[in-house]
A and B are shown apart, each in its own frame.
Chain A
Amino acid sequence: MAINVVGSLALALLPHVGVVRRHSLLPVFLGTGILGGFTTMSGAALLSPGARPLHLMVFVATAVITLPLVRLAGRAVAPTEAADFAEEGGDE
């Protein structure tokens, strides 16, 4: 869960880093490659038979914590920065 929260937050803030936006390949390398590979949906959705209620709680908690944090962190990023970043394929 910590990896998903931290990785998502980092991806939300990455367009704010000027050097990343200035290089055409950095968004897709750092965003899609490093952070996309760092975080996982398949691991989050996997409920071990022995610990289903706990893992379900963690799955829900991950979304409840991550999505508002990403929304808030996005305030630091100007819309033009986010658009440039998406244009370079950094959020796929």
Chain B
Amino acid sequence: MTPLLVMLGAAIGSGVRYLAGHLLDRAEMHWGTLLVNVIGSFILGAIAFNLEPSMLALIGVGFCGGLTTYSAFAVQAAGHDHPVNWPYIALTLGLCLPASLFGVWLG
């Protein structure tokens, strides 16, 4: 049952991530991917230590895992076909960590 909950959450989260990236990402700054990574980090922080296992599988591992991405961030930030996007790296790493910590603090 748990893998199905993860898959369901990830299907929704990944779809939202695609739409956010598709609509908001720009060459100079990937606003959509940045936004879903920060929001997903916050939500996972807020629920990670106080939700029952099945809900954590659905919303945490599934939805937040699918909503956020490291691979797209890495390729957008450091892909070989453009200069390294240092502002994007700084914003992503500098916002996701505090967002997650803030979520843990609230939750």
Contact = CB atoms under 8 A, between A and B. Distances in A.
Interface of A: 4, 7-8, 10-12, 28, 31-33, 35-49, 56, 59, 62-63, 66-68, 70-75, 77, 79, 82-83, 89, 91-92
A58 to B, nearest CB: 12
Main DSSP-derived SS at the B contact region: helix
Interface of B: 10, 13-14, 17-18, 21-22, 25, 32-33, 37, 40-41, 43-45, 48-49, 60, 64-81, 84, 89, 92-93, 96-97, 99-101, 104
A45 B73 CA distance: 13
11 contacts: A4-B70, A36-B72, A39-B69, A39-B72, A42-B44, A42-B100, A63-B93, A71-B80, A75-B80, A77-B81, A79-B81
